[in-house]
């Protein structure tokens, strides 16, 4: 099977820059065909923590009534689209948003993978963003939009990117055997590197952009060498080897955090 091509872009120090997945550009193997898959990628809708201006991270906040309405807006946007598979983190806000989005679709298998989970804000989780911005404005700016600046016992955006990109690479390979359209319920910071890849954003653009909570982004992923005959004959969906953060793990520095292998 052809492997995804990984390119390094926007890097002054290429040895330290995470590899950025673009798409398969290998030659199409003889006898196999090309397929264009769609990825419908969205951020979870508004939560109680969002409404209160609190660092949420790995806290398991739920949707507000406004968040429920925003989820229905995404559902309306995607109502006429075919969705074959769905991916979400284990956090309630991502799963609740996905559940509403998929209500008008035929039963869709939902896979859980915490490489999509929100950035861990460590010891800042549960604390007020506004208060920190007033008390420590420069430090807040570094934590909020710095690339390689993790809060105490938390993750930097660079660390989030380092775990999100392998998810994309695995998804691309997995779709070779299971072609179809995919819905992905992300978080504000795990969505950044995904948009950076498909929208060809600079590092600065990725850091400064804001992600809507009521709209999905649609991307196309060309897949070469898809064996349609083999897929139809098997009639089964290949297993997905995801990554799950134990529900009692709240800090990135916890020895039980499986995502640390990507840092």
Which pLDDT band, with edges at 50, 70 and 90, does 34 fall under? confident
Which pLDDT score is estimated for 233?
A: 52
* pLDDT at position 238: 81
**Cα 125 to Cα 32: distance, rounded to the nearest angstrom:** 49
What average pLDDT does the structure give for the chain?
88
Whether residue 207 contacts residue 147, with contact meaning beta carbons closer than 8 Å, is answered with yes
Arithmetic mean of pLDDT, 227-251: 80
% of the chain exceeding 90 in pLDDT: 80
Q: What is the pLDDT of residues 42-63, one digit of tens each?
A: 999 999 999 999 999 999 999 9
Give the SS3 label for residue 237. Answer: coil
**pLDDT at residue number 224:** 78
pLDDT band at 24 (very low <50, low <70, confident <90, very high): very low
CA–CA gap between residue 150 and residue 3 (Å, rounded):
32
Higher pLDDT, 255 or 24: 255
pLDDT at 23 exceeding the cut of 90: no
211 pLDDT above the threshold of 50: yes
CATH superfamily of 10-234: Phosphoglycerate mutase-like (3.40.50.1240)
Band of the pLDDT at 93, cuts 50, 70, 90? very high
Name the pLDDT band for 228 (thresholds 50, 70, 90): low
Q: Indicate the pairing of strand 20-21 with strand 85-88.
A: unpaired
Note the pLDDT of residue 209.
95
Region 235-246: what's the mean pLDDT? 88
Say yes or no to pLDDT of 87 above 60: yes
pLDDT at residue 237, rounded to an integer? 79
Domain ranges of the chain: 10-234
- Residue 220 banded pLDDT, cuts 50, 70, 90: very high
| Cα–Cα separations (whole angstroms), residue 206 to 147, 195, 220 | 10, 8, 19
Task: Name which of 10-14, 134-138, 179-183 the model is least confident about.
Answer: 10-14
Work out the average pLDDT over 80-88: 97
136/242 Cα distance (integer angstroms): 38
Query: Residues near 6 by Cβ (< 8 Å), separated by ≥ 6?
Result: 19, 20, 21, 22, 169
Residue 21 in this model has a pLDDT that exceeds 80: no
Contact, 237 vs 109, CB < 8 A?
yes
Query: Active-site positions?
Result: 44, 118
Name the pLDDT band for 35 (thresholds 50, 70, 90): confident
Q: What pLDDT is recorded for position 109? A: 95
Q: Tell me: pLDDT of 198 over 50.
A: yes
Angle between helices 157-177 and 191-199 (to 10 degrees): 60
């Amino acid at each position: 099977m052809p492997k995804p091509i990984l390119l390094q872009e926007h890097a002054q120090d290429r040895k330290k820059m995470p590899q950025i997945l673009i798409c398969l550009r290998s030659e199409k193997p003889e006898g196999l065909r090309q397929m264009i898959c769609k990825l419908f990628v969205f951020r979870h809708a508004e939560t109680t923590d969002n409404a209160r201006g609190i660092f949420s991270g790995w806290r398991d906040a739920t949707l507000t009534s406004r968040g429920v309405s925003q989820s229905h807006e995404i559902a309306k946007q995607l109502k006429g689209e075919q969705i074959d598979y769905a991916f979400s983190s284990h956090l309630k806000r991502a799963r609740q948003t996905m559940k509403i989005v998929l209500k008008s679709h035929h039963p869709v298998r939902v896979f859980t993978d915490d490489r999509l989970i929100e950035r861990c804000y460590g010891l800042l989780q549960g604390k007020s963003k506004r208060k920190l911005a007033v008390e420590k404005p420069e430090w807040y700016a570094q934590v909020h939009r710095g690339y390689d600046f993790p809060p105490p016992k938390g993750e930097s955006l660079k660390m989030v990117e380092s775990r999100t990109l392998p998810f994309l690479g695995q998804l691309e390979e997995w779709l070779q055997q299971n072609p179809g359209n995919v819905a992905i319920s992300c978080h504000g910071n795990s969505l950044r590197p995904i948009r950076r890849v498909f929208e060809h954003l600079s590092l600065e653009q990725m850091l400064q952009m804001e992600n809507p909570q009521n709209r999905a982004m649609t991307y196309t992923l060309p897949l070469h060498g898809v064996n349609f005959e083999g897929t139809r004959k098997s009639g089964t969906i290949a297993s997905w080897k995801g990554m799950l953060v134990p529900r009692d793990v709240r800090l990135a520095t916890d020895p039980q955090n499986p995502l640390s292998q990507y840092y």
